[in-house]
Structure 1
């Protein structure tokens, strides 16, 4: 899994590419934890290039959300592909986490 990290002001966007599963979740978890520990707790996770997510991937995002909120920030998700969006709706995580249609919407929601 490749992970692109970009910063715009106080907001950091993390864009993983590939499946977010047991084999790759730990890498994303470390990336998000390092950002939050470094004071970058306002995160947008762009899932536009993730076509599959399993419970390990979901757990990584929930853990990051809790950690970010504890640090005064949050994790906002965006650009979910249809299959990934369906899993978030089925598990009701779309109610617990902020989900936006695009990266621009997620960034604007921080304003």
Structure 2
């Protein structure tokens, strides 16, 4: 997996390419937390180029969400394919994370 971070003021866009799994979750989480420490408050994670998140990846997202909320921000998810959206619904994580169809929708929810 690779990910690209793009921060504009207090908004951090994260493009995830590939799978978010046990082997890369820590680097992913730390990169975002570093930006939150520098002032990012709205974190939009785009999974358009990703098709799989394992349980450790979900755990990293939950932990990340708590840390971002503690800093006064929020995490929004976009670009989830049908399988990923169903995963978030089945695990009830759709109640923790706002899910948006597009990046524009996630950004306009400010």
- Normalising by the smaller structure, the TM-score range is over 0.9
For residues 18 and 24 of structure 1, the distance between their equivalents in structure 2, rounded to whole angstroms, comes to 10
For residues 32 and 60 of structure 2, the distance between their equivalents in structure 1, rounded to whole angstroms, comes to 9
* TM-score of the two chains, using structure 1 as the length reference: 0.93
Off by >2 Å, runs of 4+ in structure 1? 7-10
Partner of 2:31: 31
Q: CA deviation at 1:24?
A: 1.5
For residues 32 and 8 of structure 1, the distance between their equivalents in structure 2, rounded to whole angstroms, comes to 14
Partner of 1:78: 78
Say if 1:100 and 1:106, in contact at 8 Å, map to a contact too. yes
For residues 23 and 81 of structure 1, the distance between their equivalents in structure 2, rounded to whole angstroms, comes to 22
Q: CA deviation at 1:42?
A: 1.4
Aligned-partner SS, 1:40: coil
Aligned-partner SS, 1:56: helix
Describe how 1:19-58 pairs up with structure 2 within 5 A. Answer: 19-58=19-58
Q: CA deviation at 1:105?
A: 0.3
Aligned-partner SS, 1:84: helix
For residues 49 and 26 of structure 1, the distance between their equivalents in structure 2, rounded to whole angstroms, comes to 19
Describe how 1:63-102 pairs up with structure 2 within 5 A. Answer: 63-102=63-102
Q: Which runs of 5+ in 1 are unaligned?
A: none
* TM-score of the two chains, using structure 2 as the length reference: 0.94
For residues 107 and 95 of structure 1, the distance between their equivalents in structure 2, rounded to whole angstroms, comes to 18
Q: Aligned-pair RMSD on alpha carbons?
A: 1.1
For residues 7 and 47 of structure 2, the distance between their equivalents in structure 1, rounded to whole angstroms, comes to 16
Aligned-partner SS, 1:30: helix
Aligned-partner SS, 2:48: coil
